Each structure stands twice: as C-alpha cells, then as structure tokens.
Structure 1
Amino acid sequence: MDAFPMGIDYQRFAESSRRPDVVKEIKKIHHPQGQQFIVSVDRLDYTKGILNRLEAYEWFLRQYPEYREKVCLVVVAVPSRTKVDVYNELREQIERIIGHINGEYGSLDWTPVSYLYRSLPFEKLAALYAVADVALITPLRDGMNLVAKEFVACQQDKNNPGVLILSEMAGAASELAEAIVINPYDKESIASALRQALEMPQAERLKRAQMMQERLRRYTVARWAGDFLQSLDLVKTKQHLHGPTPLVGSVQKKLINTYKTAAERLFLLDYDGTLVGFTKQPDDAKPDKTLLQTLRSLNANPHNTVIIISGRDRDTLEQWFGSLNLTLIAEHGAYVRDDSGTWIAQVKPGNEWKEIIRPMLELYVDRTPGSFIEEKTFSLVWHCRKSEPDLATLRTQELKDALMAMTANLQIGVFEGAKIVEVKHIGVNKGQAVLPWVSRQQWPFILAAGDDYTDEDMFAVMPENAITCKIGLGPSRAQYRVSTVEDFRQLLTTLANLKPKSQKQP
C-alpha cells in the first residue's frame, strides 16, 4: 500500500499571471489600497468546512476589530449536487451566515465577505489566486485538495507572495508543510492563523512560498501519473516473485556440500542487519570478537574471497575491519578498498544537491524527537530508530513523499530502509559495486546475503547458480531466507570451520 499525492499542471498556473487574459482579469478586481484579500474556493459540500470557516472569520473580526475594513474574504462556492435537498439547505445556511456577517460588521464602503456561487473560468480563478494575500482552505475531510496547490503555484510576486492556511484534514497538508496548518473545527486557531498570515513578514512569506513551489514544480500531475503506473508495474513484478525458501535442514546441507566441493568461492556480505543486529546508536554496532574470528577464518582460506559491502563510511569500515585484509565496499558502493588498501571512489564528485535536500531533513529532525541526520560522502541519511515508533512511521512516510517530489529532476534517489530514509546518487548501489567481482570468473560458489532494500540490487545481478539470502522478514528477490542474524552467523561459522573435499587433509 502506498499514497500518491496528485500533482497539478504547475507551469500553467505559475505562468498564468503573464497571460493577457489573466492580466486583464487582475486589473478588473477592485482592490482598495491597504485592504488585504483572503480567498476561499471550494465545491459546495459538507466536507469542505465552509460554515466552520465563516464562523471562524466572524470570530476573527470580533477578536481583532483593528482588521475591520482592512480585509475582505472572497468566498467562491462552486455549485454541487443542486438537485439534492441537503445541499440546497447547506447553500442557504452559507448565504444566511454571510448575510449576517455583512450586516453586523459591514459599512457603506466595506463588505466583509464577497460571495460568488458559481464556477469560475481559468483566467478569473488564476487572477483571484494571484491578487490574494491569504488562501483560507479548511476542509473537514479532504483526500487531497488541489486548490491549495493551485494557489501556491500562482504566488509568483516575490514582493508580496500570499500565505496558505490549510486544514490538517487535507491530504495536501503532508506535502505543503510550509503552510500554516490548522484544526478546521477550532475557530480560535483559525482566527489566530489569519492574524499570523496577515502580519507575516515579507521574507518569511517568500521563503514559505518558494519551498512549496519548488516541491510542486518537481512533482507535477505528469510525474504523479508516472509514479502511479510505475508502482502498479512494480506490484505486478513482486506478485511473480516467490517468497524466499527457509535456509534450513536439507537446503542448508546442500549449501554446505556445494561449499565443500567448490574450488573458488565468493562471499558478498552486508553488515548491519546481516552480521550484527541493529542498535539505537549506529556506532554501538561494532563487530564482536566472535564475528571477527569467523571472518578472519573464512578469509584465511585461499579458495575464499570475502567482501563486506555496507552503507557504513570508509573510516568506520577501515577501523573495524582494516586488519583483516578483506575487500571492503563503503556507502553502498560509493567507495571500494582495493588490494593495496587504497579507497577508490566509484562515482564522480558532485554533491550540490545536498544543500537542496538538507533543509527538508533538518525540518523532520525538528518535527521528530530522537531523529538525526548522518552525512556520507555521496548520501544523506535520516535516522529515526530512537524516535517514538508510531511517530517515526508517520514521519518516515511524510518525509519520503516530500523528498520524492523534491528529487524528481535530480540524479538522486530516495530509499526507505530499516528506520532510515536515505537520499543518494542513483548510480550508487550494491549491484553495480559487486559486478566486477561477480563477472571476473565462473564462480562455483557465491553466497550473497543482506537484509534490506539496498541488498536487492545485489541480488538482482547474481548469476543463476548464486545463493542469495535474505536475513529477516519481508519480500525479497533472494532465493533463501534466514530468520535472524544469529542464525546466519552460525552458518558462516560452520562454513569457516570446514575444509573442502578437494583439499587434502593433513
């Protein structure tokens, strides 16, 4: 299951203020000097919260009388289900409360609420968005709400960008995090948000608008459709994949026999979640003496080639395994330590994208107590293992969605792992990293093992005779599954203590 926030035709709205027909409509809008416009555009429906919004606006005028004659709420209610009695009753209620507000607070030269009960053509709607100082969008329940996105796209005036006030009950709230997000049932908070929006400094308005616009520009309706169809294809592909077979009993005996008779063997081993369990602090997952001895024994056999391929950085792998003379691959394939002990970069430098992504990760660190950012040479990782589990799950999906929109046109990918979200170069993956060894010769024995999404790239490039092993639960391309880290380590220990039949016994 996944969520696919629908995009808009961003360029159409963003460039609308330069269209002659829209410019003409903007000039028609009567905008008294010193008066600020608050715009509200909805289909007339109970879920849109129009009545609650009007009550909150009246409360605003009552609590902050200094704004009387300085603001105007423009309500556009698009007719809906006009033959249904309850919708006609809703229309009457809306018009009754608008009449009450105008009668109670209006004057001969000021109307607090301007009301339009009709659908507006594009040029009029775009003009209204463009001149609005605030968009007040407060649905009681809404799967997405494209009006919020359309308004943001139209805020191209850098000297006076509008502010978006958005209900937390709208699906778009998870994407438009820079909006002022409110509870649509709380009229006091809506009134307070209106005041905040109207008094917001120009620099803050511009910063909020630009961050939302950049996200919307990247995640257009075309990108949304592409993601949706791609995910459907992925689901179909996964349906054809059989679940890994438990690597126990006779299956494990067959693996051991293959190992014994093989003249040359290749081990491709992930680290975290495969050779050691996860810890709340990444630095606490150091290899213990037993693991180091097992790896040392495996690597001491001249018929074995042992490679550890990890998401860890070079310095950490060097510190932990440098004395074992293993082949080490760091940052999921970004760096390889060759036989001389020299680390060689596998991708070209170029991390300008980090400065684009970092503020979003920092925002989610602020919003998720216990989370933190880890910076690697070619990637940024947001960790939430120490955060409250339910909040971490919610924030992980929100962050992933936001990053997917931001990275649409960049050569980087967004990946969710075990309590992490990682952003890295698309060309960096374990599959590409291990290919030089896999293709070097016809290996009679290959054991590739890992526990998360990064290892799937490695499994995908394995030859048919390779033994691919998923550690733990979850779908995988791997042929086999081992339940726990401890069980897999026991298997490695067993292999390390064996000698192949082809070798002469002393």
Structure 2
Amino acid sequence: MCDITVTHAETPCKGSLIVVSNRLPFVLVRNEETQSLSRKASAGGLVTAVAPVVIRGNGLWVGWPGIQLTSEEEPIPESDPSDQTPTAGLKSSQVVSVNLDPKIFDSYYNGCCNKTFWPLFHSMPGRATFSSDHWKNYVTVNKHFAKRTIEALEKHHKNNKSNGTPIVWIHDYHLMLASNWVREQAEERKLECRMAFFLHIPFPPWDIFRLFPWSDEILQGMLGCDMVGFHIQDYCLNFVDCCQRNLGCRVDRNNLLVEHGGRTVRVRPLPIGIPYDRFVHLAETAEKVLKTSKMKIVLGVDRLDYTKGLVNRLQAFESLLVKYPEHRGKVSLLQISVPSRTDVKEYRELKEEVDQLVGRINGRFTTANWAPIRYIYDYVGQAELAALYRDAAVCLVTPLRDGMNLVAKEFVACQINKVPGVLVISPFAGAGEMMHEALQCNPYEIDDAAEVIHRALTMPEDERILRMSRLRSREQECDVNHWMRTFMKAMGTVEFDDIGTTTMQPVSIDDFDDYLLKYIGYNHKVAILLDYDGTLAPIAPHPDLAILSPETKNILYKLSNHSDVYVAIISGRSVDNVKKMVGIEGITYAGNHGLEILHPDGSKFVHPMPIEYEHKVSYLLKALQDSVSFLTIFSRRGFYEFYI
C-alpha cells in the first residue's frame, strides 16, 4: 500500500534475471517546459523483491514507462542520487521500454485486462465484457512485448556471455500470451533462456475460466514457460484442471506438472511476502495518529474496487451496531479507500454507493460526540499508515476475492504493541489460506461477519497475544526475500535440497482410468468392447426382437475397417446368435460371456467344460431341451448361459 525502502538479503542466483511486466519498476515523468524525463518511484511487492536481484545480477527490466515516448530509443534517465527506493541502482542500460500506440494500449489495458480478465479471474463473470477488438489488441501488445523481450535477450547474450543462462520472468494477466512468441523466436535465434510466469491475481476454476472465448490461447500462452507460479495451491489446481479439461493435457496433480508440446511445465504455489523488517521499523518510528486510546478503531485499507467487498463490510459494521449496541460510542470504523480507475463508470458508481452507505449509517447512529464511520477517500502516506496499523484494535481484510492481499501482512508486521490487535480475514483472499490464526470472516454472510467483528473486539488479551505472535513469526520468516528465494529454488537456479519431482513420469496402469484412449500410444490399437442387449440394441421382450439399428450398424462397420480400432461384441447370447444379430464380418464375437470366442479370421475358442460338471450338464441339457429355449447353469466358477 505504500512506497518502501528495503535492504535485501543476498539471493543466490545462477544467471541474470530479465523481468517482463506491464510497467517498468518506475514511472517516467516529462517536464512540460524542458521536455526532459525523470523517474518517479513505483510501489508494490514485485518491485521491492525483484528490482535488487535485477540490479545485482546485471539483469534487464522490460516494461511500459507510463507515458508515450518519442520512440523506444529515447534515452531513459538515471535515478536521482537521493533516491532510496529499491530501484535506485537500476541503470538506464538495464531498462528496455515498450512504446505503445495510446489507442491500442487503452483497448488492451482498460478493455481486455480490466474489463475482462480482472472480473473473470476474480470469479465475477457477470461484470466481464468480451470484445474481439479488445482481444485483438491484447494479442498485438503481447506480441510487441515479446519482440522487445527478444531484443533484451539478445542484448543480455551480447553483454553477459559468461553469466549463465538467463531467466525470462513474465508477470501477470497483462502478458499471458507473450511467452509463446518469446520461446519461438529464442529458439529460432538460438538464444538460451529459461522462462517463468507469475500471476498476481487469482486463477479461476474451469467452469468460470471457460467462459472466455479465447481460453485455450491463454493456457497455451502460459504453458510456453518452464514454470508457472501462483500465490496459493488452489490457484495452481485450478490452472492444472483447466489445462487438462480445455487442452487435454496430461497432468500430475500431486506434483503439479503439466505435459504440453513435448515439455513438462512445473506449476508452483509461490505466496508473495512483504519487507517485514521495514514495516516493523516504520511502526517503531511512526508518530501517533489516533489521538485517543479510549476509542477502539476497526481499520480497513483498500483500493476502491468492487472485488474488495467494501459495501458488504459497511453493512456488516452496521449490523454489529444493531446487534451489539454496547459498541456504540466506543468503536469506530476507519475505512481508507484509495482512489482507483476514476475514469471507469463502474468505479464511479461504486464510489457513489459507498458514499451513500457511509452517509446513511452515520446519519442513523451518529451522536454529538461520536460518529460510527470515519471515511478517507485518498492516498495515505507510509508513516501514517504504519501508525494506523500499529494502533488499530481490529483490521478487516474482507475482499470478495483477492489474489493475496498484502494489507493483512502489513498489519501483522506493524503489531508491535504489548497488547496487539486482531486480524479478521476473508477466506477468499489468498492470504487467508496461510494466516490460520486470524479470524475467518465470510463477507457474503453479513450477520455472521458482524459476529466475527464482535468476537475480535471482545477477544481476551492472552488470546490476542498468542494469535498475533504466531502470525508475526510466520510473516517474518516468509517475507519478500523468502518469496524471491523460493522462486529461484523452483527454477532450479540455487543450490537447495531436493525439490521433488519436476518431470512427468511414464504412464502407469493407474493413469488409464483418466487417459485410456488419449495416451496409450500410437503403436497400439484402441479396443472397443461392447455388449449387445441394452447397449447396441434396446432391451426387448424376446431376444429375437432386439434389432440393431441401421445407424449403429453403419458406425460399427466403419470402425471395423479402421486399422487402429479393435472391435469386439461380448454377450450372454451364443456366439453364433450374436454374430447373426450384428451381421458384420471382421470383428470379434464373444458368446456366453466369453466362454465362446469367434475371431475375425474364423478361428474359434471354446472354454472347456470342467470335468466334474460334464455329466451333470449333459443330463440337464437332455432333460430340459424340450421344455426351455434358454438355460442358465450355475457353478462355483460362474454361470453359463446357452440358447437351445
């Protein structure tokens, strides 16, 4: 949520890192008078974690600079000497800018990315729009990013011949197609590289993902990499499932592997962290913002977006005040909403709805000395935000859907007071999968959410201390540096212990339940084994009335003439009778449930009668042949059926 300075532990890496993202790790600003360019630092976990590794390894960063350049060769300025952000040491020679036509960029970014992928991947398909024009421009931009990435790769090979095989790391939903073209051109030009993709938002389940008309192309684009990373296991499983169901890929769910184009693609959960120590330092040095210690503050910090569940949260707080009036005058909700996409109609409508809801709730409960909701629609500085995190009694992180949500982690890092606050988190945020000591809150259940907030406000001190200490211990260990090291480990670029199976294993007998027809190999025939009565022909009152339809007979005839197909009809009828009913030469017939088999070449197999039953069977046949037309003989080895 804020700009941060962080000191990185060394991340061992073999080979340089070429990062490809929608934007550069800084934004360029042009002076209107002099037309000169300067850098403006960007916030975010990606920049914090990755920029120092790019700098140390003499890597490159490919991205859009935030403005329209005169050309892609326009010089990028060096960082300001006073810059203390993670990108301060990133030289202009390490930056490859992507210049895009404004109209195409708008269609790609605001159209396809934000109006289609954003709602769809957050499991809100009703908000998604599908436009072939936006899709075409998305393809165009991804191709251009791939072109610039190849140029960066050529530049790397020219300047870093002895620095190992570089890693091309492509980021997020803006560039899901780029890797295929990068791989294709790299192979043509014999440029060695390893490729990875990381998605910073959720990956939806198959029944939602398949709504996108070009879903196959998205999967194939992501599978152009050697590894595909997501925040949590659930997103990995969703992706693997889509690869199997959309593309028919062979997959290994246990080891999270996908076989595609003769390659094994690794799929890995890589939950991003925060610069934990930096937030601790901010909390220790930030001046107090909340002037009174008597009022308990329930804190919400979100970008104003429909995925964040702000309306649900406000309604839950209203329900809390109705059900538990003892909190009136003693508890306030401080909601910080950072402006977002103010030029988009849906976001303007959301702001209006939130404004009206805040006004209604405040109008209902406000007294002369107290207002239930304090609403800030603005950016908040990092020091002020750390102070709010530190002194809040409860932090609500209750999105309807979120890839990870770093606010929850930032709040935990800033909890340095003797008696800490309580984290309330939605199970639909990626962070909710691992922050087990937080209180879980379903934002769709308004009354239940009110109960959870009440529990957080009334939680005993010893329980608050225990829960928060465990949360802090985990976040300290799994910080942003840990995320970067885990990525390098998953790419096999550092010396670590065994990281598990990384290639698909040969097909085993267990695989045949799922993959029988697709994966038995080209040198085998497909065996089609069919019953007659009730399968090829309908059940009839008399066996002679169970007639094969002309359409079914025609299909069987075509299959029997296919060199790679083996057809067999297995029936309880006698073998001669079932052959007569089907009437097709060149296939196998098995009568009496396999006791009689007539092969296509005319040879016949008859299972011998067990010696101990020969006399009894002969006697029964002789005694009953005048009174029955069908006979079933039971034995300890099964039963035999005969037509007489």
Structure in which a larger fraction of residues adopt helix: 1
Q: Please, what TM-score do these two structures have when normalized by structure 2?
A: 0.36
Higher relative contact order (CA 8 A, sep 6+): 1
Q: Please, what TM-score do these two structures have when normalized by structure 1?
A: 0.45
